[in-house]
Structure 1
Amino acid sequence: MGSKRKVIDKEFKMNAVQYRKEHPELTYTEIADNLGVSVSSLNRWVKQFDSNQNEDSGDQSRLFRGSGNYSSDDAKELARLRKENKDLKDAIEVLKKAMRIVSSQ
């Protein structure tokens, strides 16, 4: 069966990026092996951190945000409403099909 993905928290990612910045003499492969993560993950975290630092806001709330984590209550509410809207549209389609079946008999 498939293996579960390891969930890595934001603090670990920040520490990994900081370690990379403090030890430029080490390769990404060496650091990733030491931390027990993939090289691609470490590289992605460093790029995300650098990208966030280049934006003048300095807001780190968006940094390393996983799926399902919303930037604000409004974004969370919007996602909930969109899902509810989709569910209601699906229910209407089911009812329309049922009405066609019943009316054709």
Structure 2
Amino acid sequence: MTQHNKKFKEDAVAYRLSHPELPTRACAKNLGIGFSTLTKWLSLAKKHEGEVPIRGSGNYSSDLEKENARLARELRDAKDALDVLKKAISILGK
């Protein structure tokens, strides 16, 4: 997956806005990015006064998202441990 820097994203949004005669799909194709990617950046720029916020890998936009990710990992680990115990019980029960 290609990661684009903030300047590229903002330039892509500016390109789209400066070419209203072109459909968004055509702008995305000209930029070498996906249609959904460009529409997401346009939406983010609209919400954040022209800026496209970026987050690095492992960074969360809020403490709530960080806590949700931690709890999801904890739940996944607990389910994995439970599966191992179930298999051990079935093996020992034979």
> What interval of TM-score do these two structures reach, taking the shorter chain for normalisation?
0.5 to 0.7
Instruction: Give the whole-Å Cα distance in 1 for the aligned partners of 2:28 and 2:56.
Output: 22
Instruction: Give the whole-Å Cα distance in 2 for the aligned partners of 1:100 and 1:75.
Output: 38
Instruction: Give the whole-Å Cα distance in 1 for the aligned partners of 2:91 and 2:19.
Output: 69
C-alpha RMSD of the superposition: 3.2
Selected match of 2:11 from 15, 19, 23: 15
Selected match of 2:70 from 80, 85, 88: 80
Structure number with the bigger relative contact order (C-alpha 8 A, sep ≥ 6) is: 2
Identify unmatched segments of 5+ residues in structure 1.
none
Q: How many residues align?
A: 90
Q: Give 3-state SS (helix, strand or coil) of 1:37's partner.
A: coil
Quick one: which amino acid aligns to residue 66 of structure 2?
Answer: K
Identify unmatched segments of 5+ residues in structure 2.
none
Q: Could you tell me which residue of structure 1 aligns to residue 60 of structure 2?
A: 70
- Overall identity of the aligned pairs, in %: 40
Q: TM-score by structure 1 length?
A: 0.58
Q: TM-score by structure 2 length?
A: 0.62
Q: Could you tell me which residue of structure 2 aligns to residue 42 of structure 1?
A: 38
User: 1:67 Cα shift?
Assistant: 7.5
| Greater than 6 Å deviation, 4+ residue runs | none
